[in-house]
């Protein structure tokens, strides 16, 4: 991308796009087959399994290493970029790609160029739905029979992913992808949403390289409860200076891509973009009212 000025340009830069709502609408563009997930082992782990096959002598000049310097996982050749958009509380019939009256020209273009999905099922609840999208498993098997604030001592209600659960971010990360999450999370137990809280369920511990957004089910769009990666932060500027969370998320998405491209432009990315504006509290910018 050459200095994009809005999120629409960033969205057009991807090779594969999927957009879903909690009521099951979806759009995808130019998807290509990838490789299944692989179990990644460091060189030390591999050597321990088969035995060290190099040579260690008193003089380094007489020693012989067993493996080459560590090389991070590389994505399969031709692996597409993936932009995955998730909206809360949006009816399938509302959007123009599905015949709705809300005109969405950017999404219309994406739908026209790609595939449109209309038969994806959700739980009609935030946290359970997000858990199934991350893992491909039913929400009960993820510990998310309820929202993250509703943890109880019953099977399926822990609101913590079992150890055997692997997220799509972990699979893609192990296959050479940059994994970027922006916006709403709602897959962190309420007791852990604190500066001194346990970080085990936070995004960066679940396969995501970067996170910018909020951990709860909703937040004030003018004064959000923001998290960047593993820390709470204050918003970059105030509403009187033009701040709105939706704009901030778009700006941060572009910045993440710029940072990735600056050091590794050939590395594909998986970006999960989760605006919070469709969920209460409904706080739209003045120009949209």
**Report for 30-44, 99-113, 147-161: range of highest mean pLDDT:** 147-161
Report residue 239 as tokens. Answer: 């509403």
Residue 110 domain-assigned?
yes
Instruction: Give the pLDDT score at 31.
Output: 35
Tokens 């996170």 sit at which residue? 211
Locate 25 and state its tokens: 């609408």
What's the whole-model pTM score?
A: 0.80
Provide the domain count of the chain.
1
Q: Residue 162: inside a domain, yes or no?
A: yes
- In whole numbers, what is the pLDDT of the chain averaged over residues? 84
Query: C-alpha angle with apex 157: 154 to 189, nearest 5 degrees?
Result: 135
Structural domain contains residue 45: no
Tens digits of residue pLDDT in 72-89: 889 999 999 998 888 888
Domain annotation covers residue 253 = yes
> The CATH number of the domain where 270 resides is what?
3.40.720.10
Among 258, 235, 261, CA closest to 248: 235
- What's the confidence (pLDDT) of residue 43? 65
Could you tell me if residue 40 is inside a domain? no
- Whether the CB-CB separation of 191 and 199 falls below 8 Å is answered with no
pLDDT tens digit sequence for 181-207: 999 999 999 999 999 999 999 999 999
For residue 180, give its domain range.
7-31+82-288
Burial (CB < 10 A; 0-12, 13-18, 19+), residue 182, is buried
Distance of CA 133 to the CA centre of its chain: 10
* C-beta of residue 217 within 8 angstroms of C-beta of residue 274: no
pLDDT (tens digit, 9 = 90+) per residue, 204-259? 999 999 999 999 999 999 999 999 999 999 999 999 999 999 999 999 999 999 99
Is 259 a member of any domain? yes
Residue 55 lies in a domain: no
Residue-wise pLDDT for 131-176, tens only, equals 999 999 999 999 999 999 999 999 999 999 999 999 999 999 999 9
Would 118 be classed as within a structural domain?
Answer: yes
């Amino acid at each position: 991308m050459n200095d994009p000025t809005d999120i629409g340009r960033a969205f057009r830069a991807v090779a594969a796009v999927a957009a879903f709502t909690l009521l099951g609408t979806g759009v995808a563009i130019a998807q290509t087959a990838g490789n299944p997930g692989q179990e990644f082992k460091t060189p030390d782990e591999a050597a321990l399994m088969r035995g060290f096959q190099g040579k260690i002598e008193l003089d380094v000049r007489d020693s012989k290493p067993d493996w080459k310097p560590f090389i991070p996982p590389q994505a399969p050749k031709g692996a597409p970029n993936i932009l995955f958009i998730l909206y809360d509380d949006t009816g399938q019939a509302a959007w123009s790609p599905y015949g709705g009256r809300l005109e969405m020209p950017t999404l219309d273009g994406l739908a026209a160029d790609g595939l449109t999905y209309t038969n994806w099922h959700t739980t009609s609840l935030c946290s359970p739905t997000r858990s199934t999208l991350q893992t491909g498993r039913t929400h009960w098997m993820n510990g998310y029979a309820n929202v993250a604030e509703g943890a109880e001592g019953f099977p399926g209600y822990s609101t913590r992913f079992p150890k055997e659960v692997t997220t799509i971010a972990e699979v893609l990360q192990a296959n050479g992808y940059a994994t970027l999450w922006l916006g709403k999370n709602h897959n962190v137990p309420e007791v852990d949403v604190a500066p001194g809280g346990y970080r085990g369920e936070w995004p960066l511990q679940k396969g995501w390289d970067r996170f910018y957004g909020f951990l709860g089910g909703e937040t004030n769009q003018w004064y959000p409860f923001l998290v960047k990666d593993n820390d709470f932060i204050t918003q970059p500027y105030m509403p009187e200076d033009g701040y709105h969370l939706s704009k901030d998320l778009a700006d941060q998405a572009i910045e993440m891509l710029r940072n990735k491209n600056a050091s590794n432009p050939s590395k594909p990315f998986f970006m999960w973009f989760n605006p919070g504006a469709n969920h209460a509290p409904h706080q739209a910018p003045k120009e949209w009212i």
